[in-house]
Amino acid sequence: MARESADERRKRADEVIRRLREHIPEARCALHHTNDFQLLVAVILSAQCTDERVNKVTPALFQTVKGPADVLKLGAAKLEKAIGSINFFRTKAKNILGAAQMLMDQHGGKVPANLDDLTALPGVGRKTANVVLGEIFAVPGIVVDTHVRRVTNRLRLTKELEPVDIERDLEKVLARDDWIISSHLFILHGRQTCNARKPFCGECVLRRLCPSRDLDPDAWK
């Protein structure tokens, strides 16, 4: 593919999102929840763990945990037992309890609607904060996980490897109205088609838009 201008890259990015929307109309947050605090807990649990595993654990937990006061009442031992099949469950339990205490002490028991306050909570980084902001408060933000990193590099929408740098690059090429949905689309596309070991380039709806088509899977690195 010839060298692109910034405008050409933005037009290609628009077409990428349009095609993915059409191909994956079910794209949305995969973590089950009924309120903002439950989503916060689920995203903390999802670090280095699959959404599928988290969704198997949280239904029983969320029967009693509706807000931060419920977690504090539950206590460390019972919380650890409830999430024991999750990777790093002790650390995550500690973070969830710490976040719950901060919410009670500093935010009246409510999940804050801004990046700085969210990332000040234990176990909450930009990725977690952007998930909560986008899903609960409709605040535009781009969630960068391993799938988003891989897919957007292969598409040459960025050449960066660090999440914050990728986020900044994507903000320049994606329409602001697409920031929230784009992450869900890239994640599902990465799972279904553009996977790490053997991307299905021949079946890909983005084939003609992708500079990495038919290259070695590691070539984008």
| Enzyme catalytic residues | 127, 145
Long-range CB contacts (< 8 A, 24+ apart) of 62-68? 62/32, 62/33, 62/34, 62/38, 65/37, 65/38, 65/41, 66/34, 66/35, 66/37, 66/38, 67/35, 67/37, 67/109, 68/37, 68/99, 68/100, 68/101, 68/103, 68/104, 68/109
- Integer Cα distance of 37 and 206 in angstroms: 36
Do residues 196 and 217 touch, judged by C-beta distance below 8 A?
A: yes
Q: Residue 63 is which amino acid? A: Q
